[in-house]
């Protein structure tokens, strides 16, 4: 009897609520499938929900697979995205109106990743990724590295340092300092040879010996290999691939080794900068003095600056 009485009271309550909702100009109602739970949603809210659903197709993007470009060779893929209607609605319901900046997206992974591609060099990140990476090759000099690290720390920028094996062996403390500041460390061969003119055995020795030295210093083996002076051939790339490493080159060159003025160096970079760019530099006076204003100008282009790992990731 008590259960029957409760059900009658619930029915009366629901009818009264329904009448109240339907007689209000701006309201509709929904009753959930859970017994005893009534969800009331305003007409404006329902319209907002429908607008999010209808607008989703404009903002959804398919994932793009990694591929080998005829010119730029190995190119990373890019995550797709799809609007999460429920989370987007939760973000917008307080204001009660559609705001594209409050959309929430779910990521869609590409079908083909960079790691699945055959051996080939990498020059750039995805051409639509609003990010660039600094590649700092080190085979000589120490005096400007503290200043460069200080600027990177101040600007909250992480770079990728490609370090020669011989130099690393002679400057272990600096290698540790670079690594402890969360920069990425790559392999720049042992003694800066012309890799394209070496035998397979010599190529392997240059890369492996440098890996061993760097791993002994920082406790981890480099994943990235930058051939000195950008000199390489198919055998260099093949051997690096066999060692589970990617061969990294660049798309923008500071040519800082010619000791340009700061303005010349910055203009040279900014004239050629693009989404997905890799910017080559060395620990020179031009870079030490011009790094901070260069970072400022790149940021003004709405480009982020990250490590080679971040640049080549599928994240948008």
CATH, range 119-312: 3.20.20.370
- Per-residue pLDDT, 46: 87
Pair of tokens at residue 168: 């690393």
- Per-residue pLDDT, 30: 45
Tell me: the pLDDT tens digits for 85-118? Answer: 999 999 999 889 999 999 999 999 999 999 999 9
Cα–Cα distances (Å) from 18 to 49, 158, 230, 297, in that order, read 21, 59, 74, 60
- Residue 68: phi, psi to the nearest 5? -105, 110
- Per-residue pLDDT, 295: 98
Q: Which residues lie below 8 Å from residue 266, measured CB to CB, with a gap of 6+?
A: 290, 293, 294, 297
- Per-residue pLDDT, 152: 98
Torsion of CA 197, 198, 203, 206, to 10 degrees: -90
- Residue 115: phi, psi to the nearest 5? -65, -20
Tell me: the pLDDT tens digits for 113-170? Answer: 999 999 999 999 999 999 999 999 999 999 999 999 999 999 999 999 999 999 999 9
- Per-residue pLDDT, 15: 56
Pairing of the two strands 73-75 and 67-69 = antiparallel
Q: Exposed, middle or buried: residue 56 (CB in 10 Å: 0-12, 13-18, 19+)?
A: middle
| Domain boundary assignment for the chain | 2-115, 119-312
CA distance 152 to 168: 20
Residue ranges for the chain with pLDDT beneath 70? 1-44
Closest C-alpha to 124, from 233, 250, 230? 250
């Amino acid at each position: 009897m008590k259960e029957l009485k409760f059900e009658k009271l619930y029915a009366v309550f629901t009818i009264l609520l329904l009448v109240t909702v339907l007689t209000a100009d701006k309201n509709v109602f929904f009753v959930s499938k859970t017994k005893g739970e009534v969800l009331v949603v305003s007409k404006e809210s329902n319209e907002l929900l429908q607008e999010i659903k209808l607008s989703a197709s404009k903002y959804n993007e398919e994932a793009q697979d990694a591929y080998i470009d005829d010119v730029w060779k190995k190119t990373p893929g890019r995550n797709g995205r799809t609007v999460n209607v429920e989370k987007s609605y939760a973000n917008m319901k307080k204001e009660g109106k559609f705001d594209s900046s409050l959309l929430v997206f779910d990521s869609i992974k590409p079908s083909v990743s960079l790691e699945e591609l055959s051996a080939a060099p990498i020059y750039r990140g995805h051409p639509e990724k609003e990010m660039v990476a600094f590649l700092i090759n080190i085979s000589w000099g120490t005096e400007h590295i503290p200043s460069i690290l200080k600027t990177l720390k101040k600007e909250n920028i992480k770079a990728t340092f490609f370090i020669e094996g011989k130099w690393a062996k002679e400057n272990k403390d600096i290698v540790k300092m670079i690594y402890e500041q969360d920069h990425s460390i790559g392999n720049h061969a042992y003694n800066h040879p012309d890799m394209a003119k070496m035998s397979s055995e010599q190529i392997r020795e240059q890369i492996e010996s440098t890996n061993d030295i760097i791993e002994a210093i920082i406790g981890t083996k480099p994943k990235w290999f930058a051939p000195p002076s950008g000199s390489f051939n198919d055998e260099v790339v093949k051997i690096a691939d066999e060692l589970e490493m990617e061969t990294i080159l660049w798309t923008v060159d500071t040519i800082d080794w010619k000791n340009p003025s700061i303005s010349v160096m910055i203009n040279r970079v900014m004239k050629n900068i693009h989404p997905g760019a890799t910017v080559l530099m060395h620990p020179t006076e031009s870079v030490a003095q011009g790094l901070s204003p260069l970072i400022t100008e790149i940021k003004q282009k709405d480009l982020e600056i990250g490590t080679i790992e971040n640049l080549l990731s599928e994240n948008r």
